[in-house]
Chain A
């Protein structure tokens, strides 16, 4: 069970959160100019690293706000929690 520290509510059990997947994936700025390959990359391709992962979480059973976490995907330790700025995806 992960203990996740919501930037607004503090440390809460994992069951209060929803996982949002890889962070820093930006919505294409000019969608109609994208090739099929670029679309595939945006929609489906993921880094899926063994080790440090920057990812999104939503405090869905709490304040319902999104934030980011840097988590180790082997030890499951969360090294950093960050809030999202306008341009961080």
Chain B
């Protein structure tokens, strides 16, 4: 059923009892043309674009838990495209352009809100880096500007721009088109739209082995039996190394816990997104009024979806440094995800030495913003058996050739 104002009214009359399910719950078939392993936003988007752009309808998404229960449903939803290097900024900007039409495209409100993102600078070097990044962005046609501490204070009255602060705010970069989206809705919207095109979304289906024959993938073993396919795209975020080790493929990935926090709901107080690499924290406010807060990864590797107490303290210090007014706000919930960190803070969206096997991983702390773009280029890579020009630089070989895309400056803490 198409969602519309009319369908809202009609269903109101029947007390919203007849909405029907948004996607089917099929049993896995024995054979598909392509399988996507991982039912996060990236996997669901990949399946959607495979069906929509490349006409592949006999495909399935295999998810070991429930869709969107991984990092997709655990992130702090910041969407921006102001990366430094051309390769990265073009990829994230492609995603940004897809975001701008996504609710219409999926017929599902993903609540994409372009409320702007500030990246604060606290030192002279921060400001030089910010200016460099803003200029680089503008050369790539991406909206970006440098704002002064006074301009920041005017837009965000509660922020502490005092020159006496321990880490005084000297300025910021601002991307006005950046913002936030509702993460669950992104997973559900892509799932429903893909299902509409015939894609099977199979939850509670864990991939436990990948079978190959003569250098070509043939099937996966799952908790729901063997499923055959000519093409298999793996996009499992923090579990990338677990899947790659099934075929003895070595990846330059380390999985780390990353936490986030939300406060008790407050009246509207922040209408944008503020991030600081120097004091190491970032904050926005959800439509429900909660402050949404995050910071950096735990230093050690880990697959437990929780982090250390010391990180909580560190993050709160950063937020209070920026917003002393929040010193008595209570935190309601905290949680962790597992992020797949790559050496250059850039993703790997690549063919592998095994025919028909594709990996999409390494998004680390910042892949939510890339959900539609990642799916779009990964679908292209799988369907055509070769990367799109946008994801060509993000291959696995770059760690041998040395053509790294070093986004640590723009992406290390920032999400």
Contact = CB atoms under 8 A, between A and B. Distances in A.
* Binding between chains A and B: yes
Contact of A40 (B239, B242, B399): B399
A40 B402 CA distance: 8
A76 B301 contact: no
A2 interface: yes
A75 B251 CA distance: 23
Contact of B304 (A21, A40, A41, A76): A76
Q: Choose among A41, A43, A44, A76 the residue with the greatest number of B CB atoms under 10 Å from its CB.
A: A44
A36 B401 contact: yes
Interface string B306-326: 001110000000000000000
Contacts of A76: 302, 304
Interface string A7-51: 000000111001101000000000000001101110111111110
B308 A2 contact: yes
B384 interface: no
Contact of A19 (B252, B299, B303): B299
Interface residues of B, number: 24
B254 interface: yes
A83 interface: no
B343 interface: yes
Contacts of A18: 299
Nearest to B342: A44
Given A36-B401, A44-B399, A1 B241 contact: no
Contacts of B241: 46-50
A59 interface: no
A32 to B, nearest CB: 16
A75 B343 CA distance: 25
A26 to B, nearest CB: 16
Contacts of B310: 1, 13-15
Given A44-B399, A46-B254, A48-B251, A1 B301 contact: no
A75 B179 CA distance: 35
Nearest to B242: A50
A70 interface: no
B300 A55 contact: yes
B299 A50 contact: no
Contacts of A74: 302-304
Looking at B254, B255, B300, B309, which has the most chain A CB atoms within 10 Å of its CB?
A: B300
A55 B399 contact: no
A51 to B, nearest CB: 8
B219 interface: no
Secondary structure dominating the interface of A: mixed
Nearest to A74: B303
Given A36-B400, A40-B399, A40-B400, A46 B252 contact: yes
B394 to A, nearest CB: 14
B253 interface: yes
B166 interface: no
B250 interface: yes
A47 B299 CA distance: 17
A48 B244 CA distance: 10
Interface in B279-308: 299-304, 308
Given A1-B308, A36-B400, A44 B242 contact: no
A76 B245 CA distance: 21
B279 to A, nearest CB: 18
A40 B399 CA distance: 6
A45 B250 contact: yes
| Residue of A2, A13, A14, A46 with most partner-chain B CB within 10 A | A46
A75 B309 CA distance: 15
Contacts of A2: 300, 308
A45 B400 contact: no
A45 B240 CA distance: 13
B254 A41 contact: no
Contacts of A47: 241, 245
A41 B249 CA distance: 11
Given A21-B301, A45-B250, 7 more contacts: A14-B310, A15-B310, A21-B254, A49-B245, A55-B300, A73-B302, A74-B303
23 contacts: A1-B309, A14-B308, A19-B299, A40-B399, A44-B343, A45-B250, A45-B399, A46-B250, A46-B251, A47-B241, A48-B251, A48-B255, A50-B239, A50-B242, A50-B255, A53-B301, A55-B300, A73-B255, A73-B303, A73-B304, A74-B303, A74-B304, A76-B304
Which 5 pairs from chain A and chain B are nearest by CB?
A44-B252, A48-B241, A45-B250, A19-B299, A40-B400
